[in-house]
Chain A
Amino acid sequence: MKQTRILIVDDEAGLTRLLKLNLEETGKYAVEAINDSRKALAAAERFKPDLVLLDVMMPSMDGGEAAVRLKDHPVLHSVPVIFLTAAAKPDEVKEGGGQIGGCAMIAKPVDLPQLIQRIEEELSKHARATAAAGVEGHR
């Protein structure tokens, strides 16, 4: 079974280390974690993720800008992005999930099962969209 490749971008090194550990422990995911958001794009080009987990507040380049660069990328633009944020206001978060600029958003702190559930939802949503685009392309 093919592993889903996940790129984690967060300046909290301890957090990224534990996220990677937990996700890889499931056996379904191959994870790459980086702590400097400025290197996110290069890492994504190299790693070719199926999904990106992106922290919002980072000192060097914030998550919003990193997401914009991904969306502008000729190859990576369709890769689904989930924002992880510690700064969400209560009304921005609905039952642990919400949207920022058309992307999924998860408020910190989030427990592992909910995180994996959201990851899977985004992946299947993306798969449907891709299939539709493929059908569209065969007309």
Chain B
Amino acid sequence: MNPSSAQILMVWGKASPADSCIRSGDYGAVPSIQFHVARSFAEAREKLSGTTFDAICTRLELPDSHGFETLERLRSATRSGVPILAMVPEGDDSRTRLEALAAGATECIPETDTPEGRLATVIHHILEKWRAEERLREREAFLWLLSENVTDMIAVIDRDGRRLYNNPSYARLVSNVGELRGTDSFVEIHPVDRERIQRVFRDTVRSGIGQRAEYRFVTVAGEIRYVESQGSVIRDPEGQTSKVVVISRDITERKLAEQALRESEQRYKRLLESTTDYLFTVAVQNGQATGTTHGQGCVALTGYSPESFSADPYLWYRMIHPADRPAVEAQVASILRGEFPPTLEHRIVRKDGRQAWIRNTVVPHFDDHGRLVSYDGVVSDITARKEAEQATAESQERLDLVMRGSSDGIWDWNVATNEVYFSPRWKSMLGYGEDEIENKFSEWERLVHPEDREQALSTIRGYFEGRLPTYELEHRLRHKDGTYRYILARGIAQRDAQGRPLRMAGSHVDLTERKLVEERLRQAKAGLELSEEALRKALAELMASHEELRATQLKLIQAARHEVIGTLASGVAHEVKNPLQTILMGLAYLDRPTGSPGNSQGLVITEMREAIQRADSIIRDLLQLSAPPRLIIRADDLNDLIRRSIRLMNHHLNQHRVLVETDLSDEVPPVPIDPGKIQQVFLNLFMNAIHAMAEGGFLRIRTRKTRWNPVEGTASGTDSPFEAGEEVVVAEVEDTGPGIPEAILPRIFDPFFTTKPVGVGTGLGLSVARRIIDLHHGLITIINRADGGVKASLWFKVTAKTPT
């Protein structure tokens, strides 16, 4: 609708004065109206179908339509809402007006009251009024629709607080929205809130200024809903508040969420306050940490305040124990890559310098595009746990060391489960390997000696029940080899509050060796008395056997003499066979078949004669040696005998340029000797000395009286016939020759042993000499002197002894 150019259809029927007015277009104050004229209903109907008119003004009487029917027919041909003005005849016929309105007229205009000039003004006023009413109607309809369809609750209340209108949204609070009109609008408000809300309402009515308020509404079901209301006032024409419009909203969900949030926040705060753990948040931009916020708990754990961390961006890093920094760096790098790194346990150095162990768990936050925007970390103090773990580990390590190093077997018995830890040594003590004994109490029961079992179990019971102050038990356990070992068990029980044993641990010591030693000692002690008697017996036996040995020795000595004779015989054989060979060869020559005696005959005879002499000499010496000697003993002057012997040797001594020196003591008493035999000994010694000194030298002969000194006398290694300190006479014969090679010194008394060329000696000289001295119960020794040469000593008894 365009008010500046209202299109009005004038349905006249016949020419009227108004036509000129319409044509002239002089409409006074409302020049915007454009009139269209129709002379009949048919013409009007035709125009209505082609053009939209803002109003229709008609006479009741038309050429082709009459009376109120005209109105009815126009109404049906016109779009609804388009006003139809009926011009009725002059006269205040209100019945006609009512009938016209009922037939479809919007308004009636008196025909007589329509001077041409005013017509348009009248129509305009009517039109404006109608339009205003129409706008109001439209707005009411809009508001109605609105109030009926919004989720907010809308109520209109009179000044006394009675309900005039409630929209359907109230259905969520009350069951009977349709019956609310006229009821008290405060009755369902929570008693605690009601008075406050009534006060707000009165203030609103008085001041005309709406207020916002929150309160609780109790539903018919008894449920409490939170409601937020905004009041507005409707004023009467005098400006006084006539009604109050209240728009309310159910905020229960929001309230509950807020409350839950508040409670959660409080709980969170309390948690934060009551824990040493703390949270930190690291903001991240483009994969780089840009800032860190530390929770309050960091003070308790690290000694640093959140402000310290904010002020010093690298404090958190410096706080990490240097050895653990690489691990933490790896964790940070991982989370910055958007991963979920595992929880890390590491050390920090607190502000006070003490070390603490923390567990650090980090959780990444991503935005809707999956970009890492921050990460949260939870830091917990695990120092106590770590220290306990470390203490446990150290203690375990110590225990392991003790068990490994100990020669004792260790056991640890869980009394409740009957599981027992047996150390490797416990098992090896019984010959078992690590895997050969299960960790069960029954294993011990299996191995314990049947005779010791009862005693062992009663000892354990006694200790468990407190009757025994300590657990100490000697018992036998079966070794893998089937033998029994004596084991000393000692242990201590760990008990609960009621004193019941929970666990018992202790050691095993192998007493078997000790037991055996003890047993042996006991036996030895018992046997000692017996031993003493046996010892005496043994001594007697020993003495008897010693006597026997002496007898045997004597027999052996005699046997040795027989051996001497055997040696003699083989020596004789050798020495005799050589001359015999010579004689045989001589005879062979003389008996040669040629018969003519050659020049060699004299030589052969000489050789044969010498061979016979030698054989004879040997046989004689041999006879002297082996035949039972017949000594003719008399006390004789040894010095005189020596002088005589020297005279006999004069020729030989001179021939070999040997000078004689004598030192013959006057103190030498007469000695009991066979002078002929002893002279033979001296001659033999002198001859040996002369032969030893082929280039000449000195023969020194001394005699003296002395007392027997075993050390001096045993130089020859011969058994002594003298008692220590016995008075003896010694005659010494020394030469200045080369001495006797040490290798042959032990053999010089052997018969036929000689170092001399063939024919110079028989090899029997010293054998015979010793034989003679032995018969005198004297001694002959021959040694090399320290300054060279040989010293032969003859020792004689001063007192005669009956020759054997």
Which of A's residues lie within 8 Å of B, judged by CB?
A: 11-15, 17-19, 21-22, 25, 57, 59, 84, 86-87, 89, 108-112
A109 CB, min distance to chain B CBs, angstroms: 4
Known: A25-B594, A89-B570. 5 other contacts (CB 8 A): A11-B758, A87-B570, A109-B577, A110-B584, A112-B585
> Are A21 and B578 interface neighbours, CB within 8 A?
no
B592 CB, min distance to chain A CBs, angstroms: 6
> Are B581 and A86 interface neighbours, CB within 8 A?
yes
Classify the interface of chain B: helix, strand, loop or mixed. helix
Given A21-B589, A22-B589, the answer on whether A108 and B757 have CB atoms closer than 8 Å is no
B residues near A25, Cβ cutoff 8 Å: 589, 592, 594
Given A22-B588, A25-B594, the answer on whether A108 and B610 have CB atoms closer than 8 Å is no
> Are B755 and A59 interface neighbours, CB within 8 A?
yes
Given A87-B570, A112-B588, the answer on whether A21 and B581 have CB atoms closer than 8 Å is no
A residues near B588, Cβ cutoff 8 Å: 18, 22, 111-112
B residues near A13, Cβ cutoff 8 Å: 758
B672 CB, min distance to chain A CBs, angstroms: 39
Task: Count B interface residues, CB 8 Å.
Answer: 28
List CB contacts (< 8 Å) of B568-609 with chain A. 570, 573-575, 577-578, 580-586, 588-589, 592, 594, 600, 603-604, 607
Pick the residue among A18, A59, A87 that contacts B582 (CB under 8 A).
A18
List CB contacts (< 8 Å) of B49-95 with chain A. none
> Are A12 and B754 interface neighbours, CB within 8 A?
no
> Are B757 and A59 interface neighbours, CB within 8 A?
yes
Q: How far is the CA of A40 from the CA of B755 in the complex (A)?
A: 19
Q: How far is the CA of A17 from the CA of B574 in the complex (A)?
A: 19
Residue B611 at the chain A interface, CB threshold 8 Å: yes
Q: What are 22 A-B pairs at a CB distance below 8 A?
A: A11-B757, A12-B578, A12-B758, A13-B758, A14-B582, A14-B611, A15-B582, A18-B582, A18-B586, A18-B589, A18-B604, A21-B603, A22-B592, A59-B754, A59-B758, A86-B574, A86-B578, A87-B570, A87-B573, A89-B570, A108-B578, A110-B581
Chain A residue at minimum C-beta to C-beta distance from B584:
A109
> Are B600 and A21 interface neighbours, CB within 8 A?
yes
Max chain A C-beta neighbours (<10 A), residue from B575, B611, B756, B758: B758
B residues near A21, Cβ cutoff 8 Å: 585, 589, 600, 603-604
Given A22-B589, A86-B574, A86-B578, the answer on whether A17 and B758 have CB atoms closer than 8 Å is no
B residues near A108, Cβ cutoff 8 Å: 577-578, 580-581
Q: How far is the CA of A17 from the CA of B575 in the complex (A)?
A: 18
B residues near A111, Cβ cutoff 8 Å: 584, 588
Given A87-B573, A112-B588, the answer on whether A15 and B581 have CB atoms closer than 8 Å is yes
Given A109-B577, A109-B580, the answer on whether A22 and B754 have CB atoms closer than 8 Å is no
Q: How far is the CA of A42 from the CA of B696 in the complex (A)?
A: 31
Chain B residue at minimum C-beta to C-beta distance from A58:
B758
Q: How far is the CA of A67 from the CA of B662 in the complex (A)?
A: 48
List CB contacts (< 8 Å) of B487-502 with chain A. none
B349 CB, min distance to chain A CBs, angstroms: 94
Chain A residue at minimum C-beta to C-beta distance from B577:
A86
Q: How far is the CA of A87 from the CA of B754 in the complex (A)?
A: 15
